[in-house]
């Protein structure tokens, strides 16, 4: 779902390879790794690549997985956490397996480096950046049902398309967009935001039209603003600015972004509405909500359903705890950039409250050196 992220270092490792399978016809496959984090060295990495699930290569299904992982003092990767995916549990399981074998440079320190992300895109390299006629027939039928406000029929067809599988990444992005529209038609804005973020995560490397990318970012910004997710909205706005370049910004979004900026810089608490979702189809996955906050101190309120625990993964420290209403947690400035993960049952809701820093503290509110949220540190991208 979600989010354009980077840590202290970032790199893009792309690999293309042809593998031989027992099946009569093998296809060239392409993996693309986007890795970032405080424990990731700046040099080239030789990391074991995930296997392409056998059943998926036969069906033509492509996959995308985003994971958080921790780098231990000895350089080993551990505690992989799937935070977004597309294509089914086969890709997620293979990503988990291979992440457990990765090894980075030793840190020469007893401390961990917890705040690392990887995006893994597994593609069948056959020039499949277009939708097939079979997919488009289904897509148009869903659009027609939505246009006629036949939401139940649209839901059945969209769910059927998802269960059928066999889609390339371009089709998967379109399917997530359509599922987002269905969620919106049913009044589930949290689901709409989740699916739109997932579509955008895939769309970074496929050939969606620029106008479609801009439209999607504007919708994500509006939904994040609706839920009070101010830090996320401002990062989406910054990405939208980069997409637009010299083109004019939507005036309403521009005005609203200034109001959000003022709220982040202000002295009042910021309250975000959050819904836990199932990011992973795999059996080992945990439903979660994750967020890169604008401030160092936070608490929880208005829990509905089973909201169990949280883990904050920062550049140089991680902290875990139970979700207790009213208890405040502070992420120290020297911990670096942080992401907060909240675990519980799928569909459980809560409020994530960011508190202003005490005036006498003298430390910045932002938990990260961030070119979007911390104006004093422009060199670090979110």
CATH assignment of the domain containing 199: 1.25.40
Residue whose tokens read 């599922």: 179
pLDDT (tens digit per residue) in 299-317: 999 999 999 999 999 999 9
In a domain, 155, yes or no: yes
State the residue range of the domain holding 181: 133-208
Query: Quick one: which H or E segment has residue 116?
Result: strand 113-124
CA 180 centroid distance within chain: 15
| Cβ neighbours of 9 (radius 10 Å) | 15
Classify residue 72: in a domain, yes or no: yes
119 with 137, same domain: the answer is no
Distance between CA atoms of residues 150 and 221, nearest Å: 27
Asked, for residue 222, whether it belongs to a domain, the answer is no
- Whether residues 350 and 278 share a domain: the answer is yes
Query: What are the pLDDT digits (tens) for 72-103?
Result: 988 889 999 999 999 988 999 999 999 999 98
Q: Is residue 366 part of a domain?
A: no
**The total number of structural domains that make up the chain:** 3
**Of residues 103, 115, 36, the one with CA closest to residue 70:** 115
Rounded Cα distance, 29 and 52, in Å: 8
Query: What CATH number corresponds to the domain at position 99?
Result: 3.30.2420.10
DSSP H stretches of helix in 132-289: 133-147, 151-164, 169-185, 189-203, 210-226, 230-244, 251-265
Q: For residue 14, what is the enclosing H or E element?
A: strand 9-18
* Domain at 327, CATH number: 2.60.120
pTM of the full predicted structure?
Answer: 0.86
* Residue 310 dihedral angles phi and psi, to the nearest 5°: -140, 160
138 shares a domain with 115: no
Is 140 part of any domain? yes
Give the model confidence (pLDDT) of 176-210 as tens digits. 999 999 999 999 999 999 999 999 998 876 777 88
* 24 touches 51 (CB < 8 A): no
Q: What is the pLDDT of residues 13-29, one digit of tens each?
A: 333 232 222 333 345 57
- Whether 246 maps to a domain, the answer reads no
Q: Are residues 179 and 277 in the same domain?
A: no
Judge whether 374 lies within some domain.
no
166/71 same-domain check: no
Residue 250 lies in a domain: no
Mean pLDDT over 130-147 rounds to 93
């Amino acid at each position: 779902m979600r989010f354009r992220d980077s840590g202290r270092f970032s790199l893009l490792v792309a690999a293309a390879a042809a593998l031989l399978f027992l099946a009569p016809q093998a296809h060239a496959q392409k993996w693309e790794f986007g890795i970032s984090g405080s424990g990731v060295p700046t040099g080239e990495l030789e990391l074991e690549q995930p296997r392409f699930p056998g059943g998926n290569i036969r069906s033509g299904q492509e996959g995308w997985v985003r994971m958080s992982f921790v780098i231990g003092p000895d350089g080993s990767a551990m505690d992989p956490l799937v935070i977004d995916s597309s294509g089914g549990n086969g890709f997620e399981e293979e990503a988990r397996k291979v992440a457990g074998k990765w090894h980075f440079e030793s840190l020469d320190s007893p401390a961990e480096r917890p705040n690392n992300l990887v995006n893994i895109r597994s593609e069948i390299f056959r020039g499949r950046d277009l939708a097939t006629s079979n997919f488009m027939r289904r897509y148009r039928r869903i659009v027609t049902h939505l246009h006629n406000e036949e939401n139940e029929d649209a839901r059945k067809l969209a769910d059927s398309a998802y269960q059928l599988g066999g889609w390339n990444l371009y089709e998967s992005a379109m399917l997530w967009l359509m599922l987002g529209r269905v969620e919106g038609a049913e009044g589930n804005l949290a689901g709409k935001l989740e699916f739109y973020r997932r579509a955008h995560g895939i769309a970074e490397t496929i050939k969606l039209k620029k106008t479609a990318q801009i439209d999607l970012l504007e919708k994500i910004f509006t939904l994040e603003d609706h839920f009070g997710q101010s830090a996320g909205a401002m990062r989406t706005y910054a990405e939208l600015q980069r997409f637009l370049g010299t083109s004019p910004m939507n005036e309403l979004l521009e005005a609203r972004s200034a109001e959000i900026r003022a709220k982040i810089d202000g002295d009042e608490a910021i309250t975000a509405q959050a819904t836990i979702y199932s990011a992973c189809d795999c059996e080992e996955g945990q439903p979660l909500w994750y967020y890169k906050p604008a401030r160092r101190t936070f608490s929880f309120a208005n829990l509905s359903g089973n909201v169990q625990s949280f883990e904050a993964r920062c550049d140089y420290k991680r902290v875990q705890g139970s979700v207790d209403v009213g208890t405040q947690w502070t992420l120290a400035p020297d911990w670096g950039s942080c992401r907060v993960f909240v675990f519980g049952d799928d569909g459980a809701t809560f409020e994530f409250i960011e508190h202003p820093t005490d005036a006498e503290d003298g430390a910045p509110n932002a938990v990260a050196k961030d070119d979007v949220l911390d104006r004093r540190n422009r060199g670090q991208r979110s």
